[in-house]
Copies of this chain bind each other. A is one copy, B any other.
């Protein structure tokens, strides 16, 4: 019998590569996505299609309205999303943390994944945090992941009774180009993934936001053809 894993799946490039990688390692995968007040539905539509094509055992989309708390350009519609032409890494003050940071987002997502993992008797939770992100987002750093894992094993019946959880972050030391090369080898169709902060309802990318910029440069550096549907 295969081991079970929860895979956090946003519908973006990193988590789609992550899912393909977990499946290549013979995990039975349960995909978990969140409707947390994102600006657009395109990313979740992509997650659903990707989960279906990958034939995961189960895909759950959890509704959780973090936008009620505000505080991030990704969920608070009164804050502008940064674009790569004006200020490539906008911050809300003098800190190094981007305004697209959503307070405690990965903590919340991992906690809910932990609850599902315990119910399923799954001991592995995959999250697609990467080196590109953890320069800016505190909850993408290895020390956060290690700390979350230690907490998870004190928080749960499974952890206390000797079936500890592992938070798997196989992309954490990879650049965007390396992730694209890995996914390419695993047969990932990146045209199905959505990265753009302002994608339209057809999943087309604006081509000018920070996320589009990072994606474009990733394909260039990986020397792989970028079949993303950019509008600009």
Interface residues of A (CB under 8 A from B): 60, 62-66, 68-71, 95, 97, 101-108, 110-112, 114-116, 118-120, 138-139, 141, 143-144, 147-148, 150-152, 154-157, 159-161
Instruction: Find the B residue at minimum CB distance from A63.
Output: B63
Min CB distance A17 to B, Å, is 24
Q: For residue A143, which residues in chain B have a CB less than 8 angstroms away from its CB?
A: 154
Q: Is the CB of A106 within 8 A of B64?
A: no
Q: Interface residues of A: mostly helix, strand, loop or mixed?
A: helix
Min CB distance A31 to B, Å, is 14
Q: How far is the CA of A147 from the CA of B111 in the complex (A)?
A: 14
Copies in the complex: 2
Of the A-B pairs whose beta carbons lie under 8 Å apart in the complex, a sample of 23, sorted by A's number, is A62-B68, A69-B119, A69-B120, A71-B115, A71-B119, A97-B157, A97-B160, A97-B161, A103-B118, A103-B156, A103-B157, A104-B115, A104-B156, A107-B111, A107-B114, A107-B151, A107-B156, A108-B112, A138-B160, A139-B154, A139-B155, A147-B155, A148-B151
